[in-house]
């Protein structure tokens, strides 16, 4: 049986890139597959220093946004990672099968360590092993990921194969479901949109007001050609706008370009802004409504964790037996 697993770090309300690159896909996948797990990865978020009160709020805000976007706990398991202790327990076992040089070669270790004055923690180094545990704990068969996470999924695949070789065929080797939408920064279209971008105009949040969205698109970096065309290599700025427009409206690149005939880039920016505003208006009001009911959000995560634990516990018991703990 196919089982899909994916997770998102609780950084508060997601941005446009998260929505088009991951969450929109999650909503579609819950309709297509009968066993789907989505996790709020609070343990992963500790790899970057966080104030406890901020983390607590971020977990709830991320949950509210995911629900508002259409993820339905009746059609999937939505849960908080740290409430299922088997994630950490399996990560230790898998960490004992993973060599350190492999982890040191991962690009995220190099990048994030550089941003922490080259003093990366053991958690930062080994979090890809925890990611592998997140996936393998449920014997997941498919994992939706962005391009930047493919190397981590390859590690999970290798760990699964290594475990199977040592202890007998047990884990399915998970397959990648690659996200088609790669949304770039509005201020530097050569890098992906990110919440940690120091330029405030670079990233559109799902919760931004219509005025904020319009301003960010108006200031979006393009080039000196006024015509709208799609050529990511030669015209990354305009092409990013076209990609966003297509992803938000559900139209093809060709259809979007046809709509843009006769418009210059300044006019086109406002067309794209308007399509994003319309897409996010109902989501934004639903987020506000959900944020007012913290106990409901906590209950969704706790109920999901209970069901996730029911799936995880027997699999983890079998792992304990295989490795010789019992």
| Inter-residue contact 120 to 127 (CB < 8 Å) | no
Residue 16 has pLDDT above 70, yes or no: yes
User: CB count, 10 Å around CB of 168?
Assistant: 8
Number of alpha carbons in the 13 Å side-chain half-sphere of residue 102: 16
Catalytic one of 184, 192, 216, 269:
192
| Lookup: tokens for 57 | 């709020």
Is 219 a catalytic site residue?
Answer: no
In the predicted structure, residue 115 carries a pLDDT above the cut 80: no
Cα-to-chain-centroid distance, residue 260:
30
CB 115 within 8 A of CB 196: no
Write down the pLDDT at residue 149: 84
pLDDT for 293-315, tens place per residue?
Answer: 999 999 999 999 999 999 999 99
Residue pair 239/47 in contact (Cβ under 8 Å)? The answer is no
What's the confidence (pLDDT) of residue 267?
96
> E strands of 218-262, at which residues?
none
The pLDDT value given to residue 281:
96
In the prediction, which pLDDT does 179 show? 81
Instruction: Work out the pLDDT band at 111, boundaries 50, 70, 90.
Output: confident
Q: How confident is the model at residue 272 (pLDDT cuts 50, 70, 90)?
A: very high
Domains located in the chain, CATH noted: 4-183+294-323 (3.40.50.620), 200-288 (1.10.240.10)
Q: Could you say which of 195, 219, 294, 307 is catalytic?
A: 195
Q: Is 112 annotated as catalytic?
A: yes
């Amino acid at each position: 049986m196919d089982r899909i697993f994916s997770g998102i770090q609780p950084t508060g309300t997601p941005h446009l890139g998260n929505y088009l690159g991951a969450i929109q896909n999650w909503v579609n996948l819950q309709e297509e597959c009968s066993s789907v797990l989505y996790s709020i990865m609070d343990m992963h978020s500790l790899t970057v220093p966080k104030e406890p009160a901020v983390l607590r709020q971020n977990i709830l805000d991320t949950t509210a946004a995911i629900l508002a976007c259409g993820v339905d706990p009746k059609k999937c398991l939505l849960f908080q990672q740290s409430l299922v202790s088997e994630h950490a327990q399996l990560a230790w076992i898998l960490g004992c099968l993973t060599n350190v040089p492999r982890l040191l070669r991962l690009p995220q270790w190099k990048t994030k360590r550089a941003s922490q004055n080259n003093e990366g923690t053991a958690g930062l180094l080994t979090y890809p092993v925890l990611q592998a545990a997140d996936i393998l704990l449920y014997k997941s068969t498919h994992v939706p990921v962005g391009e930047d996470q493919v190397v981590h999924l390859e590690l999970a695949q290798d760990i699964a194969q290594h475990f199977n070789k040592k202890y007998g065929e047990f884990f399915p080797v998970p397959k990648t479901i690659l996200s088609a939408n790669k949304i770039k920064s509005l201020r530097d279209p050569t890098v992906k949109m990110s919440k940690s971008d120091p330029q405030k105009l670079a990233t559109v949040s799902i919760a931004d007001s219509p005025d904020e969205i319009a301003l960010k698109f108006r200031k979006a970096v393009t080039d000196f050609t006024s015509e709208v065309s799609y050529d990511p290599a030669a015209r990354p700025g305009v092409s990013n706008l076209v990609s966003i427009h297509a992803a938000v409206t559900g139209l093809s690149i060709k259809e979007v370009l046809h709509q843009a005939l006769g418009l210059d880039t300044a006019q086109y920016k406002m067309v794209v802004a308007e399509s994003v505003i319309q897409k996010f208006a109902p989501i934004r009001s639903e987020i506000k409504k959900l944020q007012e009911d913290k106990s409901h959000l906590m209950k969704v995560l706790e109920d999901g964790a209970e069901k996730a634990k029911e799936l995880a516990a027997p699999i983890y018991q079998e792992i304990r037996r295989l490795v010789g703990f019992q």
